[in-house]
Structures are given as C-alpha cells and as structure tokens.
Amino acid sequence: MPAVAAPKNALSFGAGWLYYALPGTSVPASTVAGSVFTDAWPAGWTLLGVTREGHEFSYELATEPVEAAEYLDPIATVTTGRTVGMTFEMMQIHATNLKRALNGGNIVTTGSGGTLRSEYTPPAMGQEIRCMIGWESTDLTERVYAEQAFQVGNVAIARRRGAANAGLPVDFRFEPAADGQPFHHIFAGTARG
C-alpha cells in the first residue's frame, strides 16, 4: 500500500465573533478575496461582546425507525424533525444584553453621564421577538447567519465571589427564514471549499 498523508489544512481555531441584529437586517454579501472574507457586516449588525467559553453550534436530527414484523432490524429510518441553534454565555451584563437574552422588552433611560439610569422590563407573554444571529471565524474564512432566531434557554444569572463574574447564558434556536433555511454557513477559500 502506498504511503498516504491525512489532510490537515482546514483546521478551525478561536471563538471568533458573534453578531446580533433585528429581523430584516441585510445579510453580509460575504465577498471573498485572497481566500478570506473582505466585506464588513452590514449596518444593523452589532457585536455581542465577550463570551465565557465561545459558542457551540448544534444541528440535531430527530428520527424514528420503521419496524416490520418480518425483520429484526429497522427497515428504514425516517426524519421527524430537526433542532438547529447556538448556545453561549454573554459576559457583559447590561440592559441591552438582558433585552436580547429575554427576547425583547423595553428599556427606559433617563439622565445622562453619571446620572444615567436605565430600567428594563421584560416583554409581555406572547410578545417576544425574534432576532438574527451571526458568527465569523477569527481567520475570516467562515461565517454563519440565522435570519430567524429565538432564545429558548433558561437565563440563570449566578452571582459569585471573586473572579467568577456573572453572565447571561443563552440558547438561540434557529427557525426557517423566508427561504426555508434555518441558517447559512459560508466558507471562504479553497481549503474550506
């Protein structure tokens, strides 16, 4: 057998950057030159800031086996659904991130500078809003965006002593957008193609 070398050129490192936008915001054009994305994210996309341990993208199919009395093994497996999303913990605690974590609500601000006061109230039940979530890799060769995302996770803010700062854990589920797709994952360059 001839000697072979396993490919190792498409490794991915680093947390990258997470973005947030309101529904209807333009998606990135994802222009590529020199094997990297060269365009900025369009107006309306905001960096979410630092996270506890980066993020985790998940894609899970729900399936059921088709059983027949004449066979010991299932004769087929059918898809019954899927769950797609992204989980992460935002480390910056402020009114805007709390509003994002709780799917909307209101922020009323009074004063300015040293007298600035912001009060957040959650959305009425059933009045929660969707958002758009985006991510770009540190090396500018991968992008993910979801045009319709909904935060379904339990927001439990732990306050502890020492360097264990509080955070906002979120679990955004991606829903089908107008094109029927829950997300788009775009790659730049020949190593990622």
pLDDT for 102 equals: 98
pLDDT for 162 equals: 87
pLDDT for 193 equals: 86
pLDDT for 47 equals: 98
pLDDT for 2 equals: 86
**Structure-block tokens of residue 119:** 């009060």
**For the whole model, what pTM was predicted?**
0.92
pLDDT for 82 equals: 97
Asked if 137 contacts 14 with a C-beta cutoff of 8 angstroms, the reply is: yes
CA 52/CA 145 separation, integer angstroms:
21
Which of 180, 185, 159 shows the shortest CA–CA distance to 82? 180
Sequence spans of domains, the chain: 23-93+132-187
Task: Give the residues across from 151 on adjacent strands.
Answer: 172
**Structure-block tokens of residue 160:** 């502890």
Positions in the chain short of pLDDT 50 = none
